[in-house]
Amino acid sequence: MKRIYMDHSATTPLDPQVLEAMLPYFSEKFGNASSLHSFGLEAKEALEDSREKVAALLGAKAEEIIFTSGGTESDNLALKGIAYKNRDKGKHIITTNFEHPAIMETCRALTKEGFAVTYLPVTADGLVDPAALEAAIRPDTILISVMHANNEIGTIQPIEEIGRIAADKDIYLHTDAVQSVGKIPVDVSALGVDLLSLSAHKLYGPKGVGALYIRRGSRIAAITQGGGHERGLRSGTENIPGIVGLGRAAQLCDERMADDGRRLSSLSERLAGKVLHRVKESWVNGSMKRRLPGSLNFGFKYVEGESLLLFLDSKGIAVSTGSACSSHKLEPSHVLLSLGLSPELCHGSLRITMGRSNTEEEADYVADCIAEAVERFRGISALGRD
């Protein structure tokens, strides 16, 4: 049975060219980048070369890139680092009510340390209203954190407009861009962000490595202590093979993004059109206009998303019902709840995120299987119909 992978928002397969770039740094080029001999200098050169490649993808300067273990650590460093270093100016943070758990849980932790957090609602299309954000700003607001693209529904936020508001009010702006970097153009200057998180395994790189962009001049504190690596902000011997992989993945994304984006947008339209035409009482959650290429989140009445997922898996198709970080939780998605959906409708969701290897034939097969599954499960559903 052919296996079809359509869960690229959870993780992506390692690009063969990325693996090829990484392999020497597991064996013959194994030096510590802090060592002064030739082995260390070789590792240091690879580290800085990768920093240049990541910076180029973001339109940033190399010295503004800090390597981390991934998106979660980057988010923690951004929020806690800014909060701790700037608490003398205020203790108010603004975010949204449909952020990734790495942001939500960090904000909850900061409230226990005396910080106040405002959680902005989003529209039924899954978008933040910049006017509402501006109205939430207080004299003691020190940080705004709004994700660039949502991990469950793929909607792209108006970060440029939010960036102008933050700059006008002299407030730090962070964006979790884990889902968007490598899929759509991300230029830190155009967005107007001071901090940006990314993760290698979302852009065909290895797991366990990521980066945080920190605009030069930003006041930020380290949240771990040690030997002072990464400008003193992220101590610990650098993961050189992983960082080399991230650098090569960033370079490949820069080269392929336009072509990949056009093809994946076409695949999304094809798949969505077939599913919505064949399955009654179905819809796509979130805006169809402001959406990552290849990203779809379907809603179906009278059927459980988990049942659909398991049926599709039996057909060789890998999808999800929400974010990978929340896939074992029984409660409805906080992202879908934020759109105004009832808990019952939230449980009827299916997230499909396509990538470089997916084809039109696969999209058609997935649409057929979804239609078959919905018809089968609605026939035996305990949810019933009015």
Active site residues: 325
Q: Which amino acid is at 259?
A: D
Distant-in-sequence, close-in-space partners of 43: CB < 8 Å, separation ≥ 6: 25, 29, 30, 31, 32, 33, 35, 238, 240
Phi, psi of 190 (to 5 degrees): -65, -35
Q: Give 89-136 as a DSSP string.
A: T--EEEEETT--HHHHHHHHHHHTTT-EEEEE---TTS---HHHHHHH
Q: Which of 172, 190, 179 is nearest to 79 (CA)?
A: 172
CA distance readout (Å), 63 to 214, 215, 225? 9, 9, 20
Of 172, 122, 161, 159, which Cα lies nearest the Cα of 287? 122
> Which pair of structure tokens corresponds to residue 17?
């060219």
Note whether 211 and 50 are within 8 A (CB).
no
Half-sphere exposure of 26 (CA within 13 A, CB side): 7
Do 67 and 198 touch, CB atoms closer than 8 A? no
